[in-house]
């Protein structure tokens, strides 16, 4: 019988820095679920998000010696995952993606129920429908708390583009939410 001992964060960090595979696995298992959710906010395809997560953890283990203990470890790992997600998006398609012609005409077909109004799952599906650039800027600004200068630097775009894409993302989300509420009112 194998007994799995959960290490404290300090012990876990020390052993991971010594390249202990069991400690690395434990660190991965401790944070992978939450970090996959972070990657999925930026990367639409689930398989791609898992690839980003894996690459992110490779970097976490490679650069763990740079973590100085300022702030929570989860926050440091989260920043690595956000940067890996953005790197993936930059490689895959430019983040200056403009409004897709047919996007405005597309509206989610499921309406929120009267009891739940707009549930988190509904909002998640609306965010997933945003073009990559809009979604990245929206997540960085609204979820991660980045400023427009920080977003511009992270994405390699101008501050004006960051502001414009946030504005357009909000407009799209507002139209989608209005459409969902109209459908719910009719139902």
pLDDT band at residue 155, thresholds of 50, 70 and 90? Answer: confident
Q: pLDDT tens for residues 18-32?
A: 999 999 999 999 999
| SS3 call for 9 | helix
Burial of 41 (0-12, 13-18, 19+ CB in 10 A): buried
Structure tokens at 35: 């970090």
Q: Hey, what domains does the chain have and what are their CATH numbers?
A: 1-92 (1.10.1740.10), 95-187 (1.10.10.10)
Q: Could you tell me the sign of the dihedral formed by the alpha carbons of 13, 18, 26, 139, in that order?
A: positive
The residue among 173 and 111 whose pLDDT is bigger is: 173
Q: Could you tell me the sign of the dihedral formed by the alpha carbons of 89, 85, 142, 37, in that order?
A: positive
């Amino acid at each position: 019988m194998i007994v799995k001992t959960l290490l404290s964060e300090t012990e876990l960090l020390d052993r991971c820095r010594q390249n202990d595979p069991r400690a690395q696995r434990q660190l991965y298992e401790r944070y992978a679920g939450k970090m996959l959710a972070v990657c999925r906010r930026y990367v639409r395809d689930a398989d791609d998000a898992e690839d980003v997560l894996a690459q992110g953890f490779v970097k976490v283990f490679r650069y763990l010696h740079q973590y100085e203990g300022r702030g929570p470890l989860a926050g440091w790992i989260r920043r690595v995952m956000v940067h890996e997600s953005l790197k993936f998006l930059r490689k895959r398609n430019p983040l200056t993606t403009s409004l897709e012609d047919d996007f405005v005409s597309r509206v989610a077909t499921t309406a929120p129920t009267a009891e739940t109004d707009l549930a988190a799952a509904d909002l998640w599906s609306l965010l997933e429908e945003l073009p990559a650039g809009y979604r990245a800027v929206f997540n960085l600004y609204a979820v991660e708390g980045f400023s427009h200068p920080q977003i511009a630097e992270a994405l390699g775009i101008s501050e004006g583009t960051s502001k414009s894409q946030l504005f357009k993302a909000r407009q799209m989300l507002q139209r989608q939410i209005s459409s969902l509420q109209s459908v719910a009112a009719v139902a």
